[in-house]
Chain A
């Protein structure tokens, strides 16, 4: 008989080991999944986790892609992690990401074809504000009417997708695009473009911002009163109120920050790698970032690492699709599995497993 026994205090060792164990277990289960799909499991694992970084044939293309993909994931996940720690569940980052991109691109398209230094900074501000404003809807509804922020933020994703469709088909459609949906390509508009800063690294402003966010969040959580209050509110809401924390203020701060960061991620993406507002602009970063946040154990450094790992599965997944014919959906399932395993092994940081006797009497 296996029993779980609560530890007197959460185990720090398991806090670090659990994500590693989860990744290992996921690889094992993933290998099984790939085998079922008729792919050589070892080849699949190697193609996903090794080749993008170290196979000379692919690495020159894949390595920069790592930061390109990890940037938005980390930026969004960092914002989400604040809320998740405080017990504020923003799961609509995908929508805030879209709205940030739409708002930022809107600024650029409004100024087109003016070349001026202030356009990009203005876009950044607009991008952040776009995401922030979209996240303020669940925040205000939550604080004013106690409406569940999980459902509202998620439902707003579908609304944002409609806004995106409307923009790419209507207001923002490229007048010179021959009637195809989608806006002008911002990569070809230097004042608004977000190009690679260091050639061959994939490093653009979004990645820089993500790194700054990681550091700022680390300081906030470990050195600042607000970070302490966020942690406290998530662990013990009642103790937080006793300590003088205003829960509504935290809801606004957490949703606002995560919305703004998601909006920024969208802006950097639309001005950089994606280049334009189009119907299929969003590819699910807002949802994958939830996995990144948990895999990183809601810790800034952990999220940094988890973001890189998750980016690797994207790139490796594409590679496996191309090389081995592994379906794209397999990677999505693989990512979902990773979160399951993580949540499963997480029990070990708070509980100890006891084997053995129970009946004597």
Chain B
């Protein structure tokens, strides 16, 4: 095989951190090449350099033997490099065709483009209506828009950044089929992920990054997932310990919870019912954008609902706001750390005050007790090993993992009766993630009922007692985690959504 892209000695430093340090690797034509690494290992910076979004400090690249140094994405696209972003680079209020046109150098007139979209999408099993608004699409469909945008330009190299985090297992299979077809046609694929099983199934070669350096490279099919994990993390990770315990009484009872979405592109909650016992972890999976944020808001009290839709030990609490729910020990930690769970520009002490004022008695008759707030922040920092010079530092100065530990720790230390967390380990390095999961399990040992909403199925399988899935604002009936197969989970998550329908069409 001939090398399509050669990367030699790429280095990129940001203030305080070297994102990439002398990174070299090669991708052959038609190869599916994995870039494996933890969050913060430098994968994103590396592909941004290949795609021309970031200029390297040192090093060089060659594409098909010719020097390749894209000054901007346009140049990369012109050279045949296309990229599907992790956080989609899509425009909600524009149509599918308009979105695709924006990603092309010289798009044909919209009507002609719509025709092309239909034909290419059928070839690769990615059905899409060109005139729909992107904001109305599901996460899987939105990804198809991104992929189609790339395919219409006949790329030689397709970069995919964490593509499966928004897909159901069935959708993942369809995506893999598409990618294999592309590879067979000679397109190289640079596949970025930290999901080991996927890489073992799909990829021909893997380059492993740790802290900005290439630490290893291998054929992932010849390695076990555990071996790959060790290469990626550098050490063996302790899996969370859980103690078996008898299920307690029902603490939280949600019955036919309905809530229309306040914004036009949001998801409405429809007829959600479940019950939760003391000391139990209920894992709620599902593809992003199927009502996760809305469910958390309904449970935290940000979006109050019908009073008797949520019962705490028989008492109706559905209409209570966040402060009143905190008073009765129903706590929550939302997904978005900066700007939702924490105020970026405020100090950790102030962020402690944000949710703990009531339960920790940090205010008296409206007047704030700063020393007490500071002490509580320090307790969170110490108990959860949050790396920061002190509670006076702004939340935005912390790394993702450290801030997440602070946000979760802040709720855990308030002795919750019910704790609801959304994406507790998203974008967090493996050791912090393990610590957070352990903290949640420890909490259940004391009788707290925990709801973990997550898109990471492995995480849910690891820590939850029962599993349910959100799909278009509806929640499947919870089932015990033990013995659930991937296939069953996928069906609970909505199967392949409308992809199957499209297959029938053909």
Residues of A near any B CB (own CB < 8 A): 5, 8-10, 223-226, 228, 231-232, 235-236, 238-244, 246, 358-361
**Chain A contacts for B357, CB-based, 8 A:** 225
Contact with A along B19-52 (1 / 0, CB 8 A): 0000000000000000000000000000000000
Residue of A nearest to B392 (CB): A9
Q: Is the CB of B300 within 8 A of A224?
A: no
Q: How far is the CA of A235 from the CA of B353 in the complex (A)?
A: 15
Assuming the contacts A235-B346, A242-B302, asked whether A226 and B366 have C-beta atoms less than 8 A apart, the reply is: yes
User: A223, A235, A246: which contacts B367 (Cβ < 8 A)?
Assistant: A223
Is B393 among interface residues, defined by CB-CB distance under 8 A? Answer: yes
Instruction: Flag B344-365 by CB within 8 Å of A: 1 or 0 each.
Output: 1110001001110100000100
Tell me the B residues contacting A by CB distance below 8 Å.
15, 55-58, 60, 69, 300-302, 321-324, 326, 332, 334, 336, 339-346, 350, 353-355, 357, 363, 366-368, 393-394, 396-397
Do A241 and B346 contact each other (CB < 8 Å), given the known contacts A224-B367, A361-B56?
no
Instruction: Contacts A223-B367, A239-B354 given; indicate if A8 touches B56 (C-beta within 8 A).
Output: no
Is A8 within 8 A of B396, CB to CB? Answer: yes
Interface centre among A232, A244, A358 (most CB of B within 10 A): A244
Q: Find chain A residues with CB under 8 A from B367 CB.
A: 223-225
Q: What chain B residues lie within 8 Å of A246 (beta carbons)?
A: 321
> Closest 5 CB pairs between A and B?
A244-B323, A9-B394, A8-B397, A244-B322, A236-B343
Q: Which residue of B lies closest to A219 (CB)?
A: B367
Contacts of A5 in B (CB 8 A): 15
Q: Which residues of A contact B322 (CB under 8 A)?
A: 241-244
Residues of B within 8 A of A10 (CB): 345, 394
Contact status A242-B55, CB under 8 Å:
no
Q: Which residues of A contact B301 (CB under 8 A)?
A: 244
**Chain A hits for B69, CB < 8 A:** 361
The answer on a CB contact under 8 Å between B355 and A242 is yes
A9 nearest in chain B by CB position: B394
CA distance A231 to B346 in the complex (A): 9
A228-B353, A238-B339, A239-B341 known; 5 new pairs, CB 8 Å cut-off, are A239-B342, A242-B332, A246-B321, A360-B55, A360-B56
Chain A: which residue is nearest B337 at the CB level? A239
Q: Are B55 and A361 in contact (CB under 8 A)?
A: yes
Q: Are A244 and B397 in contact (CB under 8 A)?
A: no
Bound form: Cα–Cα A224–B458 in Å: 44
Interface contact A228-B396, CB-CB below 8 Å: no
* Known A8-B396, A228-B368; contact A243-B355, beta-carbon cutoff 8 A: yes
CA A223 to CA B301, docked complex, whole Å? 26
* Neighbouring B residues of A241 by C-beta, 8 Å: 302, 322
A–B Cβ pairs within 8 angstroms, 26 of them: A5-B15, A8-B393, A8-B394, A8-B397, A9-B393, A9-B397, A223-B367, A223-B368, A224-B366, A231-B346, A232-B343, A235-B343, A236-B343, A236-B345, A238-B339, A239-B340, A239-B343, A241-B302, A242-B300, A242-B302, A242-B340, A242-B355, A243-B322, A243-B354, A360-B58, A361-B60
Contact yes or no, B344 A235, CB < 8 A: yes
Cβ contact within 8 Å between A232 and B346? yes
Complex Cα distance, B302 from A272, in Å, reads: 48
| Inter-chain contact B326/A244, CB cutoff 8 Å | yes
Interchain CB contact (< 8 A) of B55 among A225, A228, A244, A359: A359
